[in-house]
Amino acid sequence: MSDAAPHIGERAAALRQAFDRGFAEPARLETAAEADFLAILVGSASYALRLTEIAGLFASKKITRLPGRRGGLLGIAGFRGAILPVYGVQNLIGSGIETPPRWLAVAAAAPVALAFEGLEGQLRVPADAVVPRQKSAESEQFTRDFVRLEGRTLPILHLPSILDAIHSHSAEAISKGER
């Protein structure tokens, strides 16, 4: 028993020193920057959303339909005491036949929810895995960058462009006297 006591004392002293040294040394910064995304399904196509542009993610929320379907507006839904307009991403980006959305992402930059059909998962990739789109195309106005994954590349939806399109649709409807 007496042989174990000196070893425990030495080990405790070493742990105390390591603990104290952790506070004495300057904080280390990560050298490899990473980017976080949600991989989503819009119709049958896969896209990515930057997590920094999303304030919340909700599944199977009840959407109260409103008359008309101007500019991709599906209706309204309640989010933690706030009522927000819900827009269908598939309708906004024009990617084929619209299917009922299951997922809603609340935008961080505006009081708007965006509906999409599927969630493939969360992605954390090195910053150099994000590459810009080479040439601009009218049909791809809502994607500016791509994220390279093992075996595939996902277009990244540019949320500020989507929010601008929503705002312009809303302003156009107000100017025409539609409500």
- Cβ neighbourhood burial of 61 (10 Å; 0-12, 13-18, 19+): middle
Residue 71 in any domain: the answer is yes
Name residue, tokens 């927000």: 84
CA distance 9 to 113: 58
Residue 41 in any domain: the answer is yes
pLDDT tens string 114-141: 999 999 999 999 988 898 877 655 447 7
Shortest CA distance to 82 belongs to which of 104, 51, 100? 104
Scanning the chain, the segments in alpha helix (DSSP H) are 4-24, 89-93, 159-175
Residue 102 in any domain: the answer is yes
Residue 170 in any domain: the answer is yes
Does residue 95 carry a pLDDT above 70?
A: no
61 is in which domain, residue-wise?
Answer: 34-175
Residue 179 is encoded by which pair of tokens? 């409500």
Q: Residue 84 maps to which CATH number?
A: 2.40.50.180
Residue 88 in any domain: the answer is yes
Q: Are 166 and 71 in contact (CB under 8 A)?
A: yes
Q: What residues have CB less than 8 Å from 76, skipping those under 6 apart?
A: 63, 64, 66, 83, 84, 85, 86
Q: What SS3 class is residue 145?
A: strand
CA distance 161 to 143: 8
pTM, full prediction: 0.72
Query: Looking at residue 139, what is its pLDDT?
Result: 44
Residue 143 in any domain: the answer is yes
Residue 6 in any domain: the answer is no
Helix (H) or strand (E) segment spanning residue 120: strand 118-126
Residue 55 in any domain: the answer is yes
Local confidence band at 2 (pLDDT 50, 70, 90 cut-offs): low
> If you average pLDDT over residues 162-171, what whole number do you get?
79
- Give the percent of the chain with pLDDT over 90: 40
Local confidence band at 100 (pLDDT 50, 70, 90 cut-offs): confident
More confident residue, 159 or 13: 159
Domain count, the chain: 1
pLDDT tens string 38-61: 999 998 889 999 999 999 999 999
